[in-house]
């Protein structure tokens, strides 16, 4: 069994920072996009030394249904999943959500927006966001 040291104060500080970031990210200019969104794609955001990578589940969408914009160290992903035409049938259950979506990702460190790449494959959007050179960790020699 492996013991892991848990620091409750650090967890509370992380929670407070996340809540502050959520309130900071909700700007009046974008509130309309939030209100008009009917669903939100699930996303994983991972970080390594050089990049942030976002994986978003978007089943039933095509590349043409998705838009991405970058402004002020924040990536916005918007789009719409349209319901299929169903003429002459009776739907007994409709559980999938259709309509507009909006997700916003604010990065804690500067990124190189000119090198952001996105790939869409099998209903998963993968976005690679390289960190700016000044944000990358560097080794410092001790003399």
Alpha-carbon span 76 to 67, nearest angstrom:
8
Cα dihedral angle (80, 81, 85, 90), rounded to 10 degrees? -130
Average pLDDT in the chain: 86
Q: Of how many residues is the chain composed?
A: 143
pLDDT exceeds 90 at position 58: yes
Domain 33-82+96-134 has CATH 2.60.40.790: yes
- The pLDDT assigned to 14 comes to 77
- The pLDDT assigned to 1 comes to 64
- The pLDDT assigned to 132 comes to 92
The 10s digit of each residue's pLDDT in 13-38 is 777 777 766 665 555 445 556 567 78
Could you tell me the residue ranges of all domains in the chain? 33-82+96-134
Q: What are phi and psi of 31, to 5 degrees?
A: -60, -35
The 10s digit of each residue's pLDDT in 92-109 is 898 888 999 999 999 999
């Amino acid at each position: 069994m492996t013991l892991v040291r848990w620091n409750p104060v650090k967890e509370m500080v992380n929670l407070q920072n996340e809540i502050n970031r959520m309130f900071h990210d909700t700007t009046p200019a974008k509130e309309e996009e939030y209100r008009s969104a009917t669903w939100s794609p699930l996303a994983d955001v991972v970080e390594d030394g050089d990049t942030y990578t976002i994986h978003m589940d978007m089943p039933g969408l095509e590349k043409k249904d998705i838009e991405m914009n970058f402004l002020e160290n924040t990536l916005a992903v918007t789009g719409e999943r349209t319901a299929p035409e169903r003429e002459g049938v009776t739907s007994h259950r409709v559980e999938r959500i259709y309509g507009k979506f909006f997700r916003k990702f604010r990065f804690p460190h500067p990124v190189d927006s000119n090198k952001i790449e996105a790939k869409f494959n099998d209903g998963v959007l993968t976005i690679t966001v390289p960190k700016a050179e000044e944000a990358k960790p560097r080794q410092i020699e001790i003399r």
